[in-house]
Structure 1
């Protein structure tokens, strides 16, 4: 009985979570679009209320409007006139106190994560964390810069170590490039591996040779701590 219940749960749980997430997203979009329609009714004359009420009855209209708006914005942003207008708007936002701090931070993060020229989340690696000998999957987000880079000797990389099963939170590390191991799995496969807590392992690639086994102590095991000299022990005891 328990086996059948667990089997049924494994079938329905992913579907239920997927439907719940999609319903929440669609509800949010419809709520925003409904607020826009209500605001339009308050501003426009009474003759326009009929068509606006008719728009409320169209199913998934909020999702359709968002998709069309994103497509039109993308077309506008990829031509010369649109790029010039966006640059001018960005300059105006960067001159407004408080707004410039929020806008610039969000823009830097979004450009890093979603730009096709960025390096964020383009490579999955293995790194020893939180101690030597314990390995976890991380994603390279770039290289240290500014004062931080000047304080570090040698080549370092910036890593994002996500938590399990929620990868939206995690830890930011800066480690030597020689202490990370590049993985052949894709970023999507690595995320699935992390979210499933290691249950959904990516399939091995038959076209690639097997990786050599890792040393027992990791890439760079810590040096053993030497015991203090006898006279130092006597001083500490005194």
Structure 2
């Protein structure tokens, strides 16, 4: 006769209702501290995204207004400035006067008298050894950039750089000088491109490349500049719209559910 009895199961211990807070206190954490910290960090980053661009924009605009005021106000007679009649300084007066002066010069240059004065002024500058080279270079740059019919920096492309299989964004600047085209073109049409350095697009490389090696893009110059300045973090708006359209694309006919 088997007199052995089954061992009694070990009594279950009731979990402590305060076990989790106790472990947090032992670990040196406060209940809900991580959740609260994550929420505060999210609030801070969201506020920074909203306030940062506005603050930087206001700072740049204010700096530009003060810069123009510092240039224009000293050459304006004091009796024509609001500070002569008001006990405080009015910002932006120099900027308004500067814009008005540039418009007046443009209007005068459009007639015969203004063109005559400009031609005589250019003749005087052309006789100065150092000033004439600086003036001609700056005039050519301004005429090329601000010309309505100019095609510079209005298209964006890709070239393989620094090796095959790697591509860099370039801005198409136009045709290269005739001497460059004759010596390295070898009968193939050449093009001048500017490859900016990110995140500072004001520096870069001027490259002469065959037109067949440039891959044109449908990106605007503004979208390409955003891509360069943000080091590739900000995608062009066009790409975002294409992604949204792809998500909303209707299903093919064979994938649609049959109508019952």
TM-score, normalised relative to structure 1:
0.74
Runs of at least 5 residues in structure 2 that lack an aligned partner in the other structure: 1-39, 243-260
Aligned to 1:185: 219
- 1:29 aligned to 2:68? yes
> C-alpha separation between the residues in 1 aligned to 2:146 and 2:80?
40
Aligned to 1:54: 85
> C-alpha separation between the residues in 2 aligned to 1:60 and 1:7?
32
Aligned to 1:17: 56
Aligned to 1:68: 100
- 1:90 aligned to 2:129? no
> C-alpha separation between the residues in 2 aligned to 1:98 and 1:192?
37
**Larger relative contact order (Cα-Cα within 8 Å, sequence gap ≥ 6):** 1
How many Å apart are 1:49 and its aligned residue?
9.7
Aligned to 2:206: 172
Counterparts in 2 of 1:74 and 1:198: CA distance versus 1, 3 Å: same
SS for the counterpart of 1:199 is coil
How many Å apart are 1:14 and its aligned residue?
0.8
Q: Which moved more, 1:151-160 or 1:77-86?
A: 77-86
Aligned to 1:158: 192
Counterparts in 2 of 1:120 and 1:96: CA distance versus 1, 3 Å: same
Runs of at least 5 residues in structure 1 that lack an aligned partner in the other structure: 42-47, 207-238
Aligned to 2:15: none
How many Å apart are 1:50 and its aligned residue?
9.5
Q: What whole-Å deviation, never above 9, does each CA across 1:38-72 have from its counterpart, x for those lacking one?
A: xx56xxxxxx6998723884442111101111211
Counterparts in 2 of 1:51 and 1:135: CA distance versus 1, 3 Å: closer
> C-alpha separation between the residues in 1 aligned to 2:81 and 2:221?
49
Figure out how many residues of one structure are paired with residues of the other and give that number. Answer: 198
Q: What whole-Å deviation, never above 9, does each CA across 1:146-186 have from its counterpart, x for those lacking one?
A: 32222122111101111222211111111110011111122
> C-alpha separation between the residues in 1 aligned to 2:55 and 2:235?
23
TM-score, normalised relative to structure 2:
0.69
How many Å apart are 1:128 and its aligned residue?
1.4
Pick aligned residue for 2:169 from 137, 162, 177: 137
Could you say which structure has the larger radius of gyration? 2
> C-alpha separation between the residues in 2 aligned to 1:98 and 1:54?
43
Contact 2:65 2:91 in 1 (8 A): no
SS for the counterpart of 1:139 is strand
SS for the counterpart of 1:98 is helix
